[in-house]
Chains A and B, each alone.
Chain A
Amino acid sequence: MGDVYIVGIDMVKFSKTAGVGPEVLGAEAALNALEEAQVTIRDIDTLYAGSVFSMNIAQRVQKQLGQTGIPTASVSNACATGATAFREAMFSVKAGAAKIALAVGCEVMPRGLLGGAGDSEGITTEGLMGSATMPAVFGEAGQEHAAKYGTTFAQFAKVSVKNHHHSTMNPKSIYQKETPLEEVMQSEMIAYPITKLMCSVNVDGAAAAVVMGEEEVKRRGLMDRAVRVRASALATDPFQTRNPMMHDVNSVTQLAAKWAYEQSGLGPEDLDLVELHDCFATAELLHYENLGLCGPGEAGRMIDDGETALGGRIPVNVSGGLLSKGHPIAATGLANLYELSCHLRGTAGARQVSGARIGLAHVVGLGTVSAVHILEKAN
């Protein structure tokens, strides 16, 4: 079976909505993706739609698009939901069960601080068994790196400076504002070393992709806009004694990345750009090493030297990342594929990574699961 291609992909501009259902956001992205792929819902053989906070999202999205009786299923896989929905759509095509498949990720987020289950045996455990809030979990993850390599608060904060700067060139990002280093470090401390400006934005949004096999792409004359899927990998966290007292986003990312590099026959040196899971600024530095963009302990130097800024050796999160573009959980895994596709097609505008041919998209959700995709320019 030949390669699978993305032929239509879109994300809605992320924003804080009021009273809009996630299925409406998902359908908006889906309709744009369908149009770009020059198909309608009547051409779609299967639909996978994901949402972490809403139930039955696939059938709800379907009712916004057209009830054609096709198989649909809802996907829930923490922050890897969008990427998993994409992967399922891709597998349907690879298996020959679908000629054309649609994947959607959409989310209307609950407001406020996100945290793990805080109740046990009748009392809340927040502030008792440490903190299960996301900023604290990623604060601890960052501090583990600091303990091992001396990474500083300022180095973590530089990630926000870079990604906020990138987002000023992304019209679909919710925030498009420069934030100098002092402003990032002096914004409200949430869980040291994570300040408010080092947290991903709680925002609503959606993204969708239409996928086809090589034969269908050629038959329809769509190779001009097609993006080839070189690898799709999904991994969960191997057992470790510290886990899940201390969630580990490292080993699972390393595993998904290893499989993606093996599948594609490519290595980190072949990548032109990376969209990785900067749910908090600390996470981005960990993932430089986890994805093999640099060696162990070198992430601090990478951010200091500007290697991961637009124009640098390996641009990371030129979309603005989750930190400024936003993180509607189920949309993110498809939104980063959208970003890569823009660059591979040469339509990324002011933030275009020049000559981009190969990109890597990464997500990781606590529990813990990570997806890595590698996309390649097809034409």
Chain B
Amino acid sequence: MSETVERPRPAMPFIKYNERGDPFVEGRRCSVCKAVMTANPLACPSCGARDSLAPFAASDKGVLHSYSIVFRSFPGVQTPFISAIVDLEDGVTLKGVLRGVEPKPEAIKFGQPVKVVFDDALGRKDREGRSYISYFFEPA
């Protein structure tokens, strides 16, 4: 019997794996009004159309729209970290952690270009001991 290692599970439902086994962010675009989002509700939250939200692979490049440097968080969460809002080139907005940047306002520039990278979800495991994968932002 061969041992297979299960690949890490996506930390969010809109993180998917493509046929090559690479992770990507799946966006949704309404075929009626063209609104984009990462959520997948039953009807388009912008125009109300049903069955109109088509999936697409989101860009892996964007700019930093806003951030906060978090110093106090829940027990077990390592601080400080940069909570970042990033606008991707195709219009999708993501929220995540900006890494590879010193957690000080002087080191962070609004509008700075970032890339979306995927990595293990900070070593976190669920109750069954399974690993997870998430996206992070890094300076481009």
Q: Is A130 an interface residue (CB 8 A)?
A: yes
> Contact at B93–A246, with CB atoms within 8 Å?
yes
> Contact at B11–A120, with CB atoms within 8 Å?
yes
Q: Which of A129, A133, A188, A239 is close to B46, meaning CB atoms less than 8 Å apart?
A: A239
Chain-B contact segment, one of A190-198, A215-223, A261-269, A303-311: A190-198
| Chain A residues, CB < 8 A from B13 | 120-121
| Chain A residues, CB < 8 A from B78 | 127
In the complex, per-residue mask of B64-98: 1 if CB is within 8 Å of any chain A CB, else 0 = 01111111111011110101110100011111110
> Contact at B96–A143, with CB atoms within 8 Å?
no
| Chain B residues, CB < 8 A from A193 | 68, 105
Nearest-Cβ distance from residue A285 to partner chain B, whole angstroms: 15
Count of chain B residues with Cβ under 8 Å from any Cβ of A?
Answer: 51
Q: Which of B12, B35, B74 is close to A129, meaning CB atoms less than 8 Å apart?
A: B12
Q: A127-B77, A242-B85 are in contact. Are A143 and B12 (CB under 8 A)?
A: no
Q: A121-B9, A128-B97 are in contact. Are A241 and B36 (CB under 8 A)?
A: yes
Chain-B contact segment, one of A134-142, A341-349, A354-362: A134-142
> Contact at A123–B73, with CB atoms within 8 Å?
no
Q: Is A72 an interface residue (CB 8 A)?
A: no
> Contact at A140–B126, with CB atoms within 8 Å?
no
CA of A308 to CA of B96 in the docked complex: distance in angstroms? 35
Q: Which of B84, B92, B124 is close to A128, meaning CB atoms less than 8 Å apart?
A: B124
Nearest-Cβ distance from residue A105 to partner chain B, whole angstroms: 28
Q: Is B23 an interface residue (CB 8 A)?
A: no
The chain B residue with its CB closest to the CB of A137 is: B68
| Chain A residues, CB < 8 A from B110 | 143, 146-147
Taking A133-B70, A245-B93 as given, write out 10 further A-B residue pairs in contact, using a Cβ cutoff of 8 Å, ordered by the A residue number: A126-B77, A128-B134, A130-B95, A130-B97, A133-B73, A135-B72, A144-B66, A189-B69, A190-B70, A193-B68
Report which A residues bind B (CB closer than 8 A). 113, 115, 118, 120-131, 133, 135-137, 139-144, 146-147, 153, 188-194, 239, 241-242, 244-246
Report which B residues bind A (CB closer than 8 A). 9-13, 35-39, 45-46, 65-74, 76-79, 81, 83-85, 87, 91-97, 105, 110-111, 121-122, 124-128, 130, 132, 134
Rank and list the top 5 A-B pairs by shortest CB-CB distance, nearest first: A139-B68, A122-B126, A130-B83, A147-B110, A192-B69
Query: Can you sample 12 A-B contacts with CB below 8 Å?
Result: A113-B72, A125-B12, A128-B11, A129-B95, A130-B96, A130-B97, A135-B70, A136-B70, A140-B85, A153-B105, A192-B68, A194-B68
